[in-house]
Amino acid sequence: MELRMKELTRQFGGFTAVDHISLTMTNGVYGLLGVNGAGKTTLMRMICTLLQPTEGEILFNGQNIFKMDADYRKILGYLPQEFGFYPEFTVKDYLFYIAALKGLRPAVARKRVKELIIRTGLSKYTGRKMKKLSGGIKRRAGIAQAMLNDPKILVLDEPTAGLDPNERIRFRNLISELSEERLVLLSTHIVSDVEYIAGEILLMKDGALIRQGTADELIRSMTEKVWLCRVEKSAVPALMKNYKVSNIRTGTHGTELRIISEKSPVPGSVMEEAALEDVFLHYFGEKGGNNDVLL
């Protein structure tokens, strides 16, 4: 199985949201990582045939997905950032409703709904109305609806946004289980969501793919180093202005900062082993005032 993008571009007026992306994906989990506004959602909406590309094409096993039309959508599962539902529907009603929209035969729908309720941990919530669900449980229902047709391609747009740490861990484990024998594309700006489950990570910035590879390959691609610095609190503002700072911890003996820099930022800095969060800061972080969104 192969999903291939060739010079894929999407423009809105004079703004280019996706800029000549060429990429080939097969089975496994792909993590699409970037800051908000990088073009991730636009790319995913084209993969799901919700937006036509301005230029380029997307091919599934050599066939243009827009020409495949319904045949392509039969093998596609999609969980957008915000998915629609009738608030008065129970979880079970909602899943049977989506199954009908997807054209599943009643016998198949009953089997799939039963399987997915168990697999997504929804057994206790089947009779609860959708409007009464917490964010985490609602997300479980969202992934269940995306899996109803047993898709070969599963597209998940910011699936853990707004979830607490326990729900995020549960969701990542669920995605890992569901990734067998299918292609999963997971978009996020939360590094830990892809660090452990994605076989390949795609870094997207300003509509373009700027780097791709395994977590280890991306870490090795860094041209800057990671430094652990202990300074007086009064020195922090200047360091924040002049360096990419990923973490700050203040204690009784001063302030500890984790800084991305080619050279030691202050005397006595200790070089640290880089992690994927450092890669994110290396490629997407900026000096002087924008670190608040990265801490």
Over range 47-76, report the average pLDDT.
96
Give the N- to C-terminal CA distance of the chain in Å, as an integer.
39
Q: What DSSP assignment string belongs to 208-257? A: EEEEEE-HHHHHHT-SSEEEEEEE-GGGHHHHHHHSEEEEEEEETTEEEE
Q: Which two tokens stand for residue 200?
A: 């390949």
Please name which of 245, 214, 209, 218 lies closest in space to residue 38, comparing C-alpha atoms. 209
Over range 277-293, report the average pLDDT.
70
Res. 287 pLDDT band, cuts 50 70 90: low
The predicted pLDDT at position 162 comes to 73
Average pLDDT, the chain: 91
Distance CA(76)–CA(47), nearest Å, equals 9
Domain ranges in the chain? Answer: 3-215, 222-293
CATH class label, 3-215: alpha beta
Distance CA(163)–CA(248), nearest Å, equals 24
* pLDDT (tens digit per residue) in 119-161: 888 999 999 999 999 888 898 899 899 999 999 999 999 888 7
Q: How far is CA 86 from the centre of its chain?
A: 26
Q: What backbone torsions phi and psi does residue 193 show, to the nearest 5 degrees?
A: -70, -25
